[in-house]
Amino acid sequence: MPEWKDMSILLSSKPFGETGMLVSVLSKNNGRYKSFVHGGNSVKKRSIFQKGNICNAEWKARISDQMGSIKLELVSSTATNFFNHPIQLTALSAVCEISDYILPEREPNQNIFIATLNLFELLKLSNGLNFDWVKGYVKWEIGLLSELGFSLKLQKCAVNGKQENLAFVSPKTGRAVSYHEGLPYKDKLLVLPKFLGGNNNSTCLISDLILGLNLTKYFLNFNFYNNNSISPSRIRLEKQLQKKIIQA
């Protein structure tokens, strides 16, 4: 009988039947698994099934191809850290929704698991007035793209090979382009934000962060969502940050 025990991040859950729960978890050593929790829809256990919760998971099935069943033991509740910080809570939801949608099932990737835990820790250490954590969020998406075979090349210009004066990113190749080389085609290029090495003249930190979100959103949509709408929480994250610009 195939089985494993592993630390896991809860990505999603929904009731199934009268008492059961269907869940998707990202495990450290076994990758993303969808499985069934017996009795998971009880009032007593419902608090376990919040997005981002860290759990000890025990999965088993009669044969390896089956969905199987999983037992979850809560280690730490991630979302409770952000009840007073709605933007960070939205970011947490976006991480879980995107991971649940694009990560291949049952393909181990410790790098993504560890990077996700590190991002959760960064969110927890942030406060409601400091938005530097958004840089970490954007870099998490860049790392996710890279781990899945869609690396962005932002260190030097794709045209002249130089590292100076980078300003744009090609939507076709994901490679950086310098200001002078890209200026004639700027309407067809993506903007490279300052915190990723760009030279744009944005004086507003949040505006620069939104440029970063726009950059990774484009490549997530192009490579995984077939240019359909990306996850609802990801859309809401941008809107919440844009609202902060209006209020500033």
Question: 182 and 67, same structural domain?
Answer: no
pLDDT in tens, 139-155: 999 999 999 999 999 99
Question: 89 and 68, same structural domain?
Answer: no
pLDDT in tens, 160-179: 999 999 999 999 999 999 99
**Residue at which a domain ends, from 77, 96, 116:** 77
- The answer to whether 38 touches 22, Cβ cutoff 8 Å, is no
Question: 85 and 32, same structural domain?
Answer: no
**Residue at which a domain ends, from 35, 62, 77:** 77
pLDDT at 239: 93
- The CATH number that applies at residue 92 is 1.20.1440.120
Q: Give the DSSP per-residue string, 213-248.
A: HHHHHHHHIIIIITTS---HHHHHHHHHHHHHHHH-
Question: 73 and 84, same structural domain?
Answer: no
Question: 71 and 104, same structural domain?
Answer: no
Residue 201 confidence class, pLDDT cut points 50, 70, 90: low
pLDDT at 205: 80
Domain encompassing residue 227: 80-247
Question: 230 and 125, same structural domain?
Answer: yes
Question: 50 and 95, same structural domain?
Answer: no
pLDDT at 47: 81
Spell out the alpha helix ranges (H) of 103-158. 110-125, 133-147
Closest CA to 142 of 215, 248, 35, 230: 215
Question: 86 and 73, same structural domain?
Answer: no
Statement: residue 55 has pLDDT above 70: yes
Statement: residue 248 has pLDDT above 60: no
pLDDT at 169: 98
Question: 205 and 124, same structural domain?
Answer: yes
Of 177 and 63, the one with more pLDDT: 177
d(CA 229, CA 217): 10
Q: How far is CA 57 from CA 10, 11, 14, 36, 96, in A?
A: 10, 13, 17, 12, 17
Of 244 and 162, the one with more pLDDT: 162
Question: 187 and 71, same structural domain?
Answer: no
Q: Which residues fall within 8 angstroms of residue 206, CB to CB, at 6 or more apart? A: 131, 134, 241, 244, 245, 248
pLDDT at 39: 84
Q: What is the pTM of this model?
A: 0.94
Mean pLDDT of 75-86: 91
- The answer to whether 140 touches 115, Cβ cutoff 8 Å, is yes
**Residue at which a domain ends, from 45, 77, 109:** 77
Statement: residue 46 has pLDDT above 80: no
* Count of domains observed in the chain: 2
Query: What percentage of the chain carries pLDDT values higher than 90?
Result: 75
**Token representation of residue 33:** 């698994």
- The CATH number that applies at residue 37 is 2.40.50.140
Question: 60 and 38, same structural domain?
Answer: yes
pLDDT in tens, 218-227: 999 999 998 7
pLDDT at 86: 92
Question: 133 and 189, same structural domain?
Answer: yes
Statement: residue 128 has pLDDT above 70: no
